[in-house]
Amino acid sequence: MPHIATAQAHANLAFVKYWGKADATLNLPLNNSISMNLSEATTITTVEFDDSLPADQVLLHNSTVQQDQTQLTLPFGEAPQPAGAGFAQRVVNQLDRIRAVASIRTRARVTTANSFPSGAGIASSASGMAALTVAAAAALGLNLDQRTLSILARRGSGSACRSIPAGFVEWHAGTNNDDSYASQIATPEHWPLIDLAVVVSREPKKVPSSEGHQLALGSPFSQARLNTLPERTGNIRRAIHERDFETFGRETEAEALAMHTIAMTSAHVADGSWRSGVYYWLPDTLELLAAVQEWRADGLEVYFTLDAGPTVHLLCLADQASAVIDAVRTLETERDGRIWEIMRNEPAGAARVIG
């Protein structure tokens, strides 16, 4: 029996953020979080366990996969390249967790490709770890349920647990390894919500999320956010169920600013110098956030959220998307030579075996 499988997973966008960990080894979060899988941001990963391999091999396709692509074989002209040491080690660590479940030691060849470029403000760790987990489990013939896959994916990267179920998802923070996992709130078809990701810069961020998580509890506002979150999370969950866009938008936008307030007030020392906090925004980011307020005053139904980077995610209903894109394009032309890339995401399906 060949010990090989390919899986696809979508990245996800959080409406209630995961920001700060209760346990950094297990990736237990401080709070429940809610997200949506993103249709245009996928990772495809093939895992092949091979007794003749002396060590795990981690290969990365630099060219991006097409959306409708279901196998990693074509149309890649170039051979995949060995992944950087940091990413490769995270993959090996994740393979070790799955090998432990299967009680084997066989090494694997992992080949992975993203449909979206890195630095687009969409974390590839969520889709990457979810696809890796599903592919490796399938390659070993492990018949794991969605909850177990979500728990395993979480160990690789916290937000990856939310890329296992389909559509709108909630990560139950839990208190130990076995009760911290994500489950579906609503199917992708339930609500035609659109995320227009406006990529204002491709520069890699200076402070990775993993560091931001560590700094979060140092902010004096962290506890204040945690106190308000049970109510806010309930409101967002209910708004998704009831397709109440106004409540959803207000609560989501306020939560994004709460997360960034914490980042901006997480004082720390880096490279020997004191910093008052972590600023993920660029001037273009702030310009867009201010514009959203104006657009809403003019009757356009649009809200924003942001992850740990300068990309602004504009949230609207499908029938408003072209008006929002027009508004973004108008703002873009207000400065010479400025070009923003826009990625249009719909709610997407679960991580799954393909090919």
Which residues would be at the binding site for ligand DP6 (CB under 6 A)? Answer: 14, 17-19, 27, 33, 123, 125, 157-159, 209-210, 213, 307-308
Task: With H, G, I as helix, E, B as strand and everything else as coil, classify residue 217.
Answer: coil
Q: How far is the CB of 48 from ligand DP6 (least distance, A)?
A: 25
Query: Peptide bond before 220: cis, by omega within 30 degrees of 0?
Result: no
Q: Which residue is nearest to ligand DP6 (CB)?
A: 158
Closest Cα partner for 301 from 194, 161, 216? 194
Q: How far is the CB of 3 from ligand DP6 (least distance, A)?
A: 27
Q: Pick the closer one to ligand DP6 by CB: 33 or 222.
A: 33
Q: Which phi and psi angles does 200 have, rounded to 5°?
A: -95, -15
Closest Cα partner for 234 from 13, 15, 11, 12? 15
- Tokens representing 237 are 């969950």
Q: Pick the closer one to ligand DP6 by CB: 44 or 160.
A: 160
Q: How far is the CB of 79 from ligand DP6 (least distance, A)?
A: 28
Q: Pick the closer one to ligand DP6 by CB: 10 or 213.
A: 213
CB-based contacts of 291-300 (< 8 A; 24+ apart in sequence):
291/327, 291/331, 292/253, 295/324, 295/327, 300/324, 300/327
Length of the chain in terms of residues written? 355
- Tokens representing 280 are 């993920």
Q: Pick the closer one to ligand DP6 by CB: 280 or 295.
A: 280
Q: Pick the closer one to ligand DP6 by CB: 5 or 11.
A: 11
Q: Pick the closer one to ligand DP6 by CB: 84 or 141.
A: 84
Q: How far is the CB of 97 from ligand DP6 (least distance, A)?
A: 14
Q: How far is the CB of 245 from ligand DP6 (least distance, A)?
A: 21
Q: How far is the CB of 132 from ligand DP6 (least distance, A)?
A: 13
- Tokens representing 257 are 């600013």
- Tokens representing 333 are 């032309």
